[in-house]
Amino acid sequence: MNMIAELGRFFISLAGKLGRAGLFLKDSFYWLLKGKWEKEEIMKQMVRVGVQSLPVVTLTSLFTGMVLALQSGLSSKNIFNEPLYVGTLVSLSMVLELGPVLTSIVVAGRVGASIAAEIGTMRVTEQIDALYMLGVHPISYLSVPRFLACIFMVPVLVIYADSLGILGGLFVCLTKLGIPARVYWDDILPYLDMIEVMHGVVKSFFFGAIIFWVSCYNGFFTKGGAEGVGRSTTMTVVVSMVLILLSDYFLGSFLISIGIG
Amino acid sequence: MELYKNFGENDVLKGLSLDILDGETITIIGGSGEGKSVLLKHIAGLMKPDKGTVYVDDEDIMRMDEEKLQQVQKKFGFLFQGAALFDSMTVYENVSFGVRRIHSETPEKKIREIVKTRLELVGLEGIEDMKPASLSGGMKKRVALARAIATNPRYILYDEPTTGLDPIRAGSINDLINSMQEKLNVTSIVVTHDMTSAYEVSDRIAMLAGGRIIETGTPGQIQKSPNDIVRKFIRGE
């Protein structure tokens, strides 16, 4: 009996959270469309999400491209006695999947966590209430700039990560596998169309929206002082990563079904 | 107002009613956890009651949409218990924040002047470039007060303005509340459990206990109250 009651409580709480998250998203769109944008704050968030994520995105994408080239080159060497289609494998893997997913996960860990911690701290120290009293709606001031920054900067980071991953692959081909640059590019260009790039970029746009939604929601609904801020931060990273990975499959299959990718 | 509010199983406000007159300084006293800050947040429209309503200038603020409520909130200045200064901004940016938004046509030169005079009023000149993290607790409260009055509000809400301050600083905050009243002719609502402060600043005092206002009166009337709960509270028994 207790187990059923616990299960009931869990689902009631889950329904409440989903409802609040839905209303939060609706309010964010309302203030986004209302158009009273805080330009300075938007620029600040763009720099935070985009420019300040460059070092970590550079490292992850470069080394991902390098290891992809190394593993695929050595595997095909073992099977076919020569490294075949390394460029094709590296470029398609980066552009379709690894670029968008890895970059979004890195941004969720770096930026999402800091957004949740910042807004959560503002909530528990009454700074969000102070915004109301100073003539600003907190969703318009805090949420809208972060939404715009996430949906625009994550795709830009993904295009950057795709390019670096492909260059990382080229570096390994030249230094480890003995594949000339011309062969590497010849393996890429006939198979990589704009439509593949679009597939990854469209997905990353949604991943950016997920990072915004989860981090801002957790920040705004933080309760219980420093402990609550810690809980919101952890929840943001875990939930964003799970949602990115789950939605990747469904978004991927949907985009393929409509001919994108 | 007849306000009711509960948090889970904890009933905080149980049919509370209170009229606040234009231009007066009213202090709401009561023990810790009685719901004084909760009441203040209801008055400012920052919290919604489970039942009942709040009227500001004869308008029911609980039935307003967000934008209308925002217009009403612009009439208020709120000194939060923990100051609630924006950590990422300097003192200048904090104090000018509301002016830029509420009186958006104000030129930068005028904003600089407002910030300077408000900081002078709270006795803190020349700290415009400092960040809140490098200020003491008392300085933070005074900067928060400068920020609250920078927009020329009609109503100022003070949430525990003297808590955590030494007697000298607490005295200077009391003087400030009185001088706001004289210079700006605002309506002030002060929440405190510091009786010295309550006697010093109030035209009227209201005692909150058990989720209701159990007594209101001038400081003199409250001191002579026959109500047992009031007497015990003000004497600290």
ipTM of the complex: 0.89
Contact B80 A136 (CB under 8 A): no
The verdict on B46 touching A (C-beta cutoff 8 Å) is yes
Q: To the nearest whole angstrom, how far is the Cα of B1 from the nearest Cα of chain A?
A: 21
Residue A216, pLDDT > 80, answer: yes
Winning range, highest mean pLDDT, from A6-15, A107-116, B61-70: A107-116
End-to-end CA separation in angstroms for chain A: 50
Give the least confident one: A75-79, A180-184, B117-121, B176-180: B176-180
In whole angstroms, what is the distance from residue A139 CA to residue A153 CA? 20
pLDDT at residue B85, rounded to an integer: 96
Residue A183 included in any domain: yes
CB atoms near residue A215 (< 10 Å): 31
Q: Which residues of A touch B137 (CB under 8 A)?
A: none
- Please report the sign of the dihedral spanned by the C-alpha atoms of residue B140, residue B141, residue B142, residue B148: positive
Residues of B in contact with A122 (CB under 8 A): 86
Q: Is residue A119 within 8 Å of A219, Cβ to Cβ? A: yes
Q: Which fold has domain B3-75+154-235?
A: Rossmann fold (3.40.50)
Could you give the CA distance from residue A50 to residue A52 in angstroms, rounded to a whole number?
6
pLDDT band at A23 (very low <50, low <70, confident <90, very high): very high
Q: Taking CB atoms and an 8 Å limit, are A129 and B85 in contact across chains? A: no
Number of separate domains in chain A: 1
Which residue of B41, B70, B82 is in closest CB contact with A135? B70
Contacts of A119 in chain B (CB under 8 A): none
Angle between helical axes of A144-172 and A194-220 (0-180°, round to 10):
140
Q: How does DSSP classify residue A35?
A: -
Residue A194's alpha-carbon distances to A154, A201, A260, in angstroms, are 18, 10, 9
Query: Distance between CA A163 and CA A167 in Å, rounded?
Result: 6
Mean pLDDT of A41-51: 95
* Segments forming the whole domain that contains residue A172: 40-257
- Taking residues B123-141, report their average pLDDT: 90
pLDDT band at A154 (very low <50, low <70, confident <90, very high): very high
Q: Is position A240 within any domain? A: yes
Q: Is residue A136 part of a domain?
A: yes
Residue entry with tokens 């209170």: B18
Q: Look at residue A1 in the predicted model and tell me its pLDDT.
A: 63
In a domain, A17, yes or no: no
DSSP E strand stretches across chain B: 3-7, 10-16, 25-29, 55-56, 59-60, 76-79, 155-159, 187-192, 204-209, 212-217
The answer to whether B45 faces chain A, any CB pair under 8 Å, is: yes
**Cα distance between residue B210 and residue B166, in whole Å:** 30
Average pLDDT for B38-45: 92
In whole angstroms, give the CA distance from residue B205 to residue B220: 9
Percentage of chain B modeled with pLDDT above 70:
99
Q: What is the pLDDT of residue B67?
A: 85
B-facing residues of A in 118-157 (CB < 8 A) are 121-122, 125-127, 129-130, 132-137
* Residues on chain A touching B76 (C-beta within 8 angstroms): 133
Q: Is B80 on the interface with A (CB under 8 A)?
A: yes
Percent of chain A scored above 70 by pLDDT?
99
Residues 6+ apart with CB under 8 A from B14: B4, B210, B211, B212
pLDDT-based confidence at residue B4 (cuts at 50, 70, 90): confident
- pLDDT band (50, 70, 90) for residue B2: confident
Find chain A residues with C-beta within 8 A of B41's C-beta: 129
Q: What digits encode the pLDDT tens for the residues B136-173? A: 888 898 899 999 999 999 999 999 988 877 888 788 88
Q: How far is B133 from chain A (nearest CA, A)?
A: 13
Burial class (CB in 10 A: 0-12, 13-18, 19+), A216: buried
**pLDDT band at B74, cuts 50/70/90?**
very high
Contact: B73, A132; criterion CB under 8 Å: yes
Interface of B with A in 158-197 (CB under 8 A): none
Angstrom distance (rounded) from CA A150 to CA A158? 12
Q: Is B78 on the interface with A (CB under 8 A)?
A: yes
Average of per-residue pLDDT across B119-126: 87
Domain ranges of chain B: 3-75+154-235, 90-153
Summary mean pLDDT of chain B:
89
pTM recorded for the entire structure: 0.88
B102 in A contact zone (CB under 8 Å) = yes
Confidence band of B125 (pLDDT split at 50, 70, 90): confident
Is residue A26 in some structural domain?
Answer: no
If DSSP codes are grouped into helix, strand and coil, which group holds residue B205? strand
Partner residues linked to B192 by β-bridges: B29
Residues with Cβ within 8 Å of residue A190, at least 6 apart in sequence: none
Assess whether pLDDT exceeds 60 at residue B1: no
What residues does B13 pair with on adjacent strands?
B5
Q: Does residue A11 lie within any of the structural domains?
A: no
Identify whether A14 is part of a domain: no
